[in-house]
Amino acid sequence: MSRPNLAHLLTAATVLAAGFFSLDAAGQAPPPPLTPIALEGDVARGAVLAETCKGCHGVPESHNAYPSYHVPKLGGQKADYIEIALQGYRRGTRSHATMQAQAASLSDQDIADVAAYFAAREGEPELGRSSASALEIEEGSRVATACVQCHGQGGIADAPQWPDLAGQHESYLLQALHQYQTGQRSDVLMAPIIAGLDATALNDLAAYFSAQPHLHQTPIE
Ligand code: HEC
Ligand code: HEC
């Protein structure tokens, strides 16, 4: 018997992990998971492109209208994660009409450049906007033990393709958690973790991570 070829085994494992052989409820194979863009980001070029983005992402009180939640902070977020998020909007697997329109106009190089810009953005670590009580934050810190494996202790992720949650706005975190639970936003890692949590747990988790200082709102210059 010939020795198994490692490259083939790895490919098979990747394909299986991507869920290519499973079909979703509509009988469609799910799209392959996104990976970061293999291009070097140019921070200076990204700063120019980001002018369009700051009208929403650089204004602390900026809200999405329906449903109402704070526009997420990007300052200090991981470049690889921003690249994955923008590609998700661009190919339509992350839903949000305005962001889909924004991302549709960006090339791979543009995405690498804006991601590099926001990741490198200097700023004081901030708390997220939140109306949570100390009790909710305390409860959230207990449930959050299920999240540290990927999102890190206190919400700063170890892997560059996983989002930092620390200091993100509470209402946006809650919106994202609801979307994973309803399937409006899909991710093979997040979906099973969130599936069994009740509304109180989701509220407390959003409260806890928004109360950890880190991400900052990029000011408009
Ligand atoms: C009109 C307001 C608006 C503009 C302009 C805008 N965004 Fe957004 N952006 C949003 C909203 C609202 C969301 C949250 C959407 C959702 O719920 O998925 C978002 C989400 C994102 C996310 C995902 C964040 C996360 O934590 O997952 C990224 C990355 C992003 N925007 C980048 C950009 C870039 C880059 C630009 C400029 C080219 C831009 N946005 C322009 C409103 C805007
Ligand atoms: C096995 C790894 C893993 C674990 C454990 C995990 N997550 Fe995630 N999480 C991810 C990945 C990967 C993403 C990005 C998925 C995507 O692109 O939509 C993510 C995304 C998120 C987002 C969206 C962030 C944004 O900016 O849009 C939230 C909120 C979140 N996770 C909360 C949690 C909470 C709360 C827990 C614990 C109950 C948790 N996660 C546990 C891997 C994990």
Q: What is the pLDDT of residues 139-167, one digit of tens each?
A: 999 999 999 999 998 999 989 999 999 99
In a domain, 35, yes or no: no
Nearest CA to ligand 2 atom 15: 187
Is 148 close to ligand 2, i.e. is its CB under 6 Å away? no
174, 221 Cβ separation under 8 angstroms: no
Is 88 close to ligand 1, i.e. is its CB under 6 Å away? no
In a domain, 5, yes or no: no
Helix-helix angle 79-91:108-120, to 10 degrees: 140
In a domain, 185, yes or no: yes
Q: What is the pLDDT of residue 59?
A: 85
Q: What is the pLDDT of residues 99-111, one digit of tens each?
A: 999 999 999 999 9
Q: Which ligand is nearest to the CA of 155?
A: 2
In a domain, 173, yes or no: yes
Using the predicted structure, report yes or no on whether residue 10 has a pLDDT greater than 80.
no
- Residue 86 CA, ligand 1 centroid: distance in Å: 8
**Mean of the per-residue pLDDT values of the chain:** 88
Q: Which ligand is nearest to the CA of 177?
A: 2
Q: Which domain holds residue 171?
A: 134-210
Q: Measured between alpha carbons, how far is residue 199 from residues 4, 64, 103, 178, 205 in Å?
A: 47, 21, 31, 9, 10
Q: Which residues are CB-neighbours of 36 under 8 A, at least 6 positions away?
A: 79, 80, 83, 84, 160, 161
Nearest CA to ligand 1 atom 31: 99
Query: How many structural domains does the chain have?
Result: 2
CA dist 185 and 141 (Å) reads 24
Q: What is the pLDDT of residues 85-129, one digit of tens each?
A: 999 999 999 999 999 999 999 999 999 999 999 999 888 999 999
Q: Which residues pair with 70 in a beta bridge?
A: 63
**CATH code where residue 57 lies:** 1.10.760.10
